[in-house]
Amino acid sequence: MCLLHFPTKPLSPGQYNHYVAELAFYWSLMVSQFTDIKRKDFLIMLVHHLATIFLITFSYANNMLRAGSLVMCVHDASDIFLEAAKLANYAKYQKLCDSLFVVFSIIFFLTRLVIFPFWIVNSVLFESWQIIGPYQAWWLLNGLLLVLQTLHIIWFYLIARIAVKAIFKGKVSKDDRSDVESSTDEDISSNGSKNPCQTSKVRDSSHTSVLNGETYDH
């Protein structure tokens, strides 16, 4: 139950450090988004970062620590495999990169399209109403959670397309949402010698990631 002991649950030092680190991280993404290469999903990423910052701040200020911690853990679970895929791409281990990206896609699906909506959102949206009633700002909290879930669905569709290509074509394909490519990619394309390890790109749910490291928005 996400709201167990609400609103009297004590804040542990570990939870405080977790909250501070996550909030600082997403604020850094918010700022860096305006200096990075602008992409087609700029507005979607902006909405995601705003919703995440509001949720972290709101859950901390209202002592909804269990719900907030679970949401952050679920969102971070797939990142390990995304980062590992990036490292494999840096090392030019394309098959390993593809395999890790497929694992990332599966973990993304399980955490953000299964655990998040059917356990966490269900608890905050329905169980909380039955147990403690329509508490203050109930609509705001659940509205933000549903915004994140909508973005999860959109991103998983795009991630699944890349994962399918990785399985059947043997390489992680270019991200369809890139508006502007770096000069390096343009030079490679113009020379007709495009290397999958240099141009493959991946993003998660909540995250915009380019494997070659030119742009990285978590």
2 occurs within a structural domain:
no
CA distances from 110 to 30, 92, 119, 122, 148 (A): 26, 28, 11, 15, 15
Which domain does 20 fall in, by range?
13-217
Q: Which residue has the tokens 């910052």?
A: 53
Q: What is the pLDDT of residue 146?
A: 93
pLDDT in tens, 74-113: 989 998 998 999 999 999 998 898 889 889 999 999 999 9
Burial label, 173 (beta-carbon count in 10 A; 0-12, 13-18, 19+): middle
In a domain, 44, yes or no: yes
pLDDT of residue 104: 93
**Contact (CB, 8 A) for 97 and 197:** yes
Q: Name the stretches of the chain with pLDDT < 70.
A: 1-7, 133, 135, 170-218
- Give CA separation, 87 vs 64, 100, 145, 204, 207, in Å: 36, 10, 31, 15, 16
Q: What pLDDT, on a 0 to 100 scale, did the predictor assign at position 113? A: 95
DSSP secondary structure string for all residues of 164-217 = HHHHHHSSPPPPTT-SS--HHHHHHHHHT---HHHH-----SS-EE-TTSS-EE
Domain annotation covers residue 4: no
**Is 39 inside any structural domain?**
yes
Q: Looking at the domain assignment, is residue 188 inside a domain?
A: yes
- Strand partners for 217: 208
pLDDT of the residue at 107: 95
The confidence score (pLDDT) of residue 171 equals 61
In-domain check, residue 130: yes
What pLDDT, on a 0 to 100 scale, did the predictor assign at position 183? 39
Tell whether 77 is covered by a domain.
yes
Instruction: Please tell me the total count of domains within the chain.
Output: 1
**At residue 105, what is the residue type?**
S
pLDDT score of 12: 85
Nearest-10 Cα torsion for 180, 182, 188, 194: -70
What's the distance, CA 68 to chain centroid?
A: 15
195 found inside a domain: yes
The whole-number pLDDT of residue 181 equals: 40
Q: What pLDDT was estimated at residue 93?
A: 92
List 209's β-bridge partners, or say none.
216
Question: What pLDDT is recorded for position 205?
Answer: 39
